[in-house]
Structure 1
């Protein structure tokens, strides 16, 4: 197991989303930069408040998703993406402790 926080995470969507006539089945989320987080309430993001998650996902996904496309995502997929985003904010020491606790 690694104790390094990942720079990207791929999320397979349970329900594909369509944008510009393209059907998207997988999203790659990258760890946000300080600029990506501008204008986002970090406390609300950590609580996975939908507005903050939607705002951030439209900045860090590949393929790039418009905010209205993110809003059309299935709720299960939005939560999966929100969980992935939360993982970007775990320090390597915290990740190592979690992995050690899991055996």
Structure 2
């Protein structure tokens, strides 16, 4: 994997999971299998439903669909932008 195959996002509003507070989420570049059933145009256009399906597949700790759906807009967009960045050709990615 290249060094751009992972990204860390610090959440503005942590996710509360029982006694655990998740304030940082690691994203990894999705594999073809993790994109199965998704329309890539929807992902690139930041369509919420597609990202709510994809993000649980590529996050560590693994977020649930409900946790992703419950994110504030700012945190959701931060995760979405990093995810879309993985789908760009390497010469189009920001440095």
Q: TM-score, normalised by structure 1?
A: 0.84
Which blocks of at least 5 consecutive residues in structure 2 are unaligned?
A: none
Q: Summarize deviations over 1:10-60 as a string: whole Å, max 9, x none.
A: 000000012243210000000000010001111111000000111100100
Partner of 1:74: 72
Match of 1:93 among 73, 91, 94: 91
**d(CA) in 2 for partners of 1:20, 1:70:** 16
Q: TM-score, normalised by structure 2?
A: 0.91
Q: How many residues align?
A: 94
Deviation at 1:89, TM superposition (A): 1.2
Contact 1:19–1:65 (CA under 8 A) maintained in structure 2: no
**d(CA) in 2 for partners of 1:21, 1:41:** 36
In angstroms, what is the RMSD of aligned CA positions?
Answer: 1.5
Partner of 2:25: 27
Choose between structure 1 and 2 for higher RCO, CA contacts under 8 A separated by at least 6 residues.
1
Matches within 5 A, 1:1-103: 6-95=4-93, 99=95
Which protein has the larger Cα radius of gyration, Structure 1 or Structure 2?
Answer: 1
Which blocks of at least 5 consecutive residues in structure 1 are unaligned?
A: none
